[in-house]
Amino acid sequence: MDEFSFINSIKQHTYKQPSVVKGIGDDAAVFRQPYRDIITAVDTFVEDVHFARTTMAPFHIGFRSVAANVSDLAAMGATPAFYLVSMIIPKTWPPDELDEIYKGMKKMASRHHMDLIGGDTVSGPVLSVSVTVIGYANMNRARYRSTSNEQDIVFATGYLGDSRAGFHMLTTPGSYENELYFYDRHRKPLPRVDFAVGLSNLKRVTLNDISDGIANEAAEIAEASKVDIVLYDEQIPISAPLGQFSPKQQYEWKLFGGEDFELVGTVPEYDWGHVKEIAQQTNTPLKRVGVVERSKNPGQHNVFIVDRNNHKKPLEKKGYTHLADKDKKE
Amino acid sequence: MDEFSFINSIKQHTYKQPSVVKGIGDDAAVFRQPYRDIITAVDTFVEDVHFARTTMAPFHIGFRSVAANVSDLAAMGATPAFYLVSMIIPKTWPPDELDEIYKGMKKMASRHHMDLIGGDTVSGPVLSVSVTVIGYANMNRARYRSTSNEQDIVFATGYLGDSRAGFHMLTTPGSYENELYFYDRHRKPLPRVDFAVGLSNLKRVTLNDISDGIANEAAEIAEASKVDIVLYDEQIPISAPLGQFSPKQQYEWKLFGGEDFELVGTVPEYDWGHVKEIAQQTNTPLKRVGVVERSKNPGQHNVFIVDRNNHKKPLEKKGYTHLADKDKKE
């Protein structure tokens, strides 16, 4: 049984607490309080499964663990407020390196004025960092994957594939340009909180954060919204220095490379101007990358890619698998 | 660096979010919403550190993981509402056993009408279950360890040492009485939520849940409230069938045996009648076990035990260490 099917197998179909707005099935859960909604999510990262000491210093492990969770809040349009940390620590980990993990967490958390309000540490055979985040959204302004309509514009923030390229540089000896830029993109991702929260005036915007590659995240939106999504290969935003890699690498990494922690979303055409404005105000690179279409076959909701020759083909459903199957993918 | 010192080392001394009422340092954190307070805590349990397959079926692992967290909410006087689960699962775990873990969680959660609203599962080398719980309390009615005053009555719920006795029976072959009772007390603990929430009319009551033995939990109250606590050996409540064990075992287990998930607390004498009434209404065995005193030496806050001969001596500070050091303790 893989991760996905297990989470689905334990999903409740009805909720007893009347304050639940959204349970399992999006980037985070939502429950309602007077005047606002509370958003919460949890994610666990395990050494040598999600990160390795060969490519990450302890500081980065901490920074990224919190960043990945903050990115889930961004994908919900929520403002981060609190986090709790539960760690498994092998007895062999030196105290000063633990301290570095915490410094990394704190650095990321401070960017968003988050408070650490709880946690525990237990001993065990492998380093594991589990982060729970809690944030706020205005009532009925949490963002879901399920709200895309046909003819919506599909957009993406930032530059995709950079994190994957940084990982490549860190693990494949060679001569590269702009190495520090790519290292940072891999080790110190900056979730798009300001942009996502800035959209709070919009009645309807669909968001998903790019933790497993835009192909996979777009497929989640297509599935949840029961639509098809068409992406334009040439519009997928990449950074200039990604051009140093082969066309095949660029294609793979921008579409299937994980952990950029950018956002992919959809909005009605008439709100596109407003979205662009917020992007400008929050210094967020923003690109129109596709369009939402009615699903051709009822019950099948797919992602297509249109290449430079205007050929349209279905995009493979393959997610990002962290350290494990890197080499198989290329 | 042990668990405790690491958590203390990362504790924030000031909070940026104005809604924080209590950060790290009690059984759970508290933040304020209009009309009520929200309580949250996280705990992680690792195979062969906190539980072993030799003494726990998968169902029990799930049941207890949620119970331990619900007990933290009880210790805060909070009503459980939600939980999130983050699991590390070795690839060798069969799907049907995973399902049993979940059934155990659900069983415990259902007792308190809790909804599972989030979670993730990742693969890794060791089974680990991390549970985040969220609950509600009336405004200014969350309960802390820091509110005891001298002359307060000290009380305890239930019967102490049973869980430890159950563990002993499961790991030390022998001929015992009431085995099933003790197995259940060890594998399926029932936190004292109804009793704790029932006390919500009281202006001041101090609570702590007994996860690491009453000696340790009373010491936490003494420390946080800057008082001494005196316990009466003969008043510590034990179940009748615990009498089958040696006096030394009974003494060790009732004072230092962990994971009973009962409550220890203090109240002013004038509220004792009300506490007894709530105990009766909620079918909660309740015993007056001691008294709060002014600390003899400023800056030193201790727990004392008075034996049947009226000899008073300081109670050792030793916590419960799950599976690890069991034998060393006896």
Dihedral sign for Cα atoms in the order B23, A22, B43, B187 = positive
Give how far A82 is from chain B: nearest CA, Å. 8
**Is B53's pLDDT higher than 80?**
yes
The fraction of chain A above a pLDDT of 70, given in percent, is 94
Query: A42 in contact with B at a CB cutoff of 8 Å?
Result: yes
Compare all CA atoms of chain A with the CA of B9 and give the residue at the minimum distance: A99
Query: A123 in contact with B at a CB cutoff of 8 Å?
Result: yes
Are the C-beta atoms of B176 and B244 separated by less than 8 Å? yes
Enumerate the residues of chain B whose CB falls inside 8 A of the CB of residue A121: 3, 6-7
Compare CB distances from B12 to A98, A115, A120 and report the shortest one's residue: A115
Q: What local confidence, expressed as pLDDT, does residue B213 receive? A: 95
**Distance, CA of B162 to CA of B236 (rounded, Å):** 12
* pLDDT (mean) for B92-106: 92
Is the CB of B116 less than 8 angstroms away from the CB of A23? Answer: yes
Q: Who's near A293: CB < 8 A, 6+ residues apart?
A: A150, A151, A227, A228, A229, A230
pLDDT-derived band at A1 (thresholds 50, 70, 90) equals: very low
Compute CA B110 distance to the chain's CA centroid, rounded to the nearest angstrom: 19
**Distance, CA of A252 to CA of A236 (rounded, Å):** 12
Q: What local confidence, expressed as pLDDT, does residue B140 receive? A: 94
Q: What local confidence, expressed as pLDDT, does residue B324 receive? A: 45
Is the CB of B89 less than 8 angstroms away from the CB of A7? Answer: no
Alpha helices in A125-246 (DSSP H): 162-171, 179-187, 193-198, 214-225
Please, which residues bridge with residue A162 across strands? none
The answer to the question of whether B233 is labelled as a binding residue is no
Give how far A63 is from chain B: nearest CA, Å. 14
Are the C-beta atoms of B93 and B9 separated by less than 8 Å? no
Is the CB of B24 less than 8 angstroms away from the CB of A116? Answer: yes
**Is A3's pLDDT higher than 60?**
no
Enumerate the residues of chain A whose CB falls inside 8 A of the CB of residue B128: 44, 88, 124, 128
* pLDDT (mean) for B123-140: 96
Which of 301-330 (A) contact B at CB < 8 A?
Answer: none
**Is B325's pLDDT higher than 50?**
no
**Distance, CA of A148 to CA of B85 (rounded, Å):** 29
Is the CB of A102 less than 8 angstroms away from the CB of B24? Answer: no
Compare CB distances from A24 to B89, B119, B132 and report the shortest one's residue: B119
Over the stretch B63-89, which tens digit does the pLDDT of each residue have? 999 999 999 999 999 999 999 999 999
SS3 B66: helix
CATH 3.30.70.360 fits A153-329, yes or no: no
Query: A91 in contact with B at a CB cutoff of 8 Å?
Result: no
Query: B134 in contact with A at a CB cutoff of 8 Å?
Result: yes
ipTM of the complex: 0.91
Find which of A96, A117, A128, A212 to mutate to test the B interface (most B CBs within 10 Å of its CB). Answer: A117
Count residue pairs from A and B with Cβ separation < 8 A.
210
Compare CB distances from A122 to B44, B89, B119 and report the shortest one's residue: B44
DSSP state letter for B241? G
Find which of B42, B51, B211 to mutate to test the A interface (most A CBs within 10 Å of its CB). Answer: B42
Give how far A22 is from chain B: nearest CA, Å. 8
Architecture category of domain A3-138 in CATH: 2-Layer Sandwich (3.30)
Q: What local confidence, expressed as pLDDT, does residue A326 receive? A: 42
Domain chopping of chain A, boundaries = 3-138, 153-329
Q: Who's near B77: CB < 8 A, 6+ residues apart?
A: B137, B141, B142, B143, B196, B197, B199, B200, B205, B207
The answer to the question of whether B320 is labelled as a binding residue is yes
Higher pLDDT, B26 or A326: B26
Neighbours of B307 (CB within 10 A): 12
**Distance, CA of B7 to CA of B220 (rounded, Å):** 15
Is the CB of A3 less than 8 angstroms away from the CB of B44? Answer: no
Q: What local confidence, expressed as pLDDT, does residue B10 receive? A: 74
Contacts for A177-184 with beta carbons within 8 Å, 24 or more apart? A177/A241, A177/A244, A178/A241, A178/A244, A181/A239, A181/A241, A182/A241
Query: A124 in contact with B at a CB cutoff of 8 Å?
Result: yes
Buried b / exposed e across B232-269, counting CB within 10 Å, b at 16+?
bbeebbbbebbeebeeebbbbbbbbbbbbbbbbbbbbe
Over the stretch B157-200, which tens digit does the pLDDT of each residue have? 999 999 999 999 999 999 999 999 999 999 999 999 999 999 99
Neighbours of B125 (CB within 10 A): 17
Q: What local confidence, expressed as pLDDT, does residue A330 receive? A: 28
Angle at B326 between CA B321 and CA B330, to 5 degrees: 120
Query: B102 in contact with A at a CB cutoff of 8 Å?
Result: yes
Dihedral sign for Cα atoms in the order B53, B57, B62, B67 = negative
pLDDT-derived band at A13 (thresholds 50, 70, 90) equals: confident
Which of 6-25 (B) contact A at CB < 8 A?
Answer: 6-7, 9-12, 15-17, 19-20, 22-24
Query: B157 in contact with A at a CB cutoff of 8 Å?
Result: no
Neighbours of A180 (CB within 10 A): 9
**Is A309's pLDDT higher than 60?**
yes
CA distances from A20 to A29, A33, B72, B130 (A): 8, 10, 22, 21
* Element (DSSP H or E) covering residue A36: strand A36-46
* Binding site per annotation, positions of A for substrate: 50, 259, 320
> Rounded mean pLDDT of chain B?
93
Are the C-beta atoms of B203 and B152 separated by less than 8 Å? no
Query: Which residue type occupies A82?
Result: F
Q: In what order do the strands lie in the sheet with B29-33?
A: B20-22, B29-33, B36-46, B128-138, B79-89, B115-123
pLDDT-derived band at B270 (thresholds 50, 70, 90) equals: very high
Angle at A306 between CA A303 and CA A308, to 5 degrees: 160
Is the CB of B17 less than 8 angstroms away from the CB of A82? Answer: yes
pLDDT-derived band at B134 (thresholds 50, 70, 90) equals: very high
